[in-house]
Homo-oligomer: A and B are copies of this chain.
Amino acid sequence: MTIAGRRDVWPLVRERLRARGLRWTPQRRTLVEVLSRTDGHVTGSELVERCRAVDPETTPSTVYRTLDVLEQLGLVRHGHGPDGREEFHVLPQVEHGHLHCSGCGSTWEVDSDEAAALVDALRASRGFDVDLSHVTIVGRCASCQTARVDQSTVGTPMMWKPPST
């Protein structure tokens, strides 16, 4: 049995769509081409921009709708960044989540081994099946903690205490 590698996947998109009664259009071709050159994470609007670089006629709604379709085929996966904006993983090989430092803005990936503790705990206690790829965990990275204590939000102590009752 043949396993399709990263590079083989995109050319097959057309057939995958057709097999489901969906259609192969110039606009989809454009987006797929853009995706095939993309690696890792992109925001929705970045994809719109890149599509426009290929075809200036590109319309946002079409791009977002096509992304929905491609997500159903498992070719992309979307989540939400720390600011709530959409973020896409292209060809997610390994399911992973994200860590985002509110201090410096850096982002790291968290693979399922690292998240296993949480995933297993939730499965055990609640039967909840975590979709790791949709998660962005916000906090402060090591260097931002040792660095200055804060500039604004997160570090500010809550000045009131929980009620004793």
Contact = CB atoms under 8 A, between A and B. Distances in A.
A102 interface: yes
What is the size category of the interface that chain A forms with chain B? Answer: 35 or more
Interface in A68-113: 71-74, 77, 80, 82-86, 92-94, 99, 101-102, 108, 110
Contacts of A159: 16, 73-74
Contact of A135 (B114, B128, B135): B135
Contacts of A141: 126-129
B139 A130 contact: yes
- Copies of this chain, tallied across the complex: 2
A50 interface: no
From A22, A84, A85, A115, name the one whose CB has the most chain B CB atoms within 10 angstroms. A84
Interface in A113-165: 114-115, 117-118, 120-122, 125-131, 134-142, 145, 152-165
A5 interface: yes
A106 to B, nearest CB: 10
Given A3-B163, A74-B156, A156-B74, A84 B82 contact: no
A155 B114 contact: no
Contact of A129 (B120, B135, B140, B156): B140
Contacts of A153: 71-72, 131
B84 A80 contact: yes
Given A3-B163, A72-B152, A84-B84, 10 more contacts: A4-B160, A21-B160, A99-B122, A128-B142, A129-B145, A131-B138, A131-B140, A134-B139, A135-B135, A135-B137
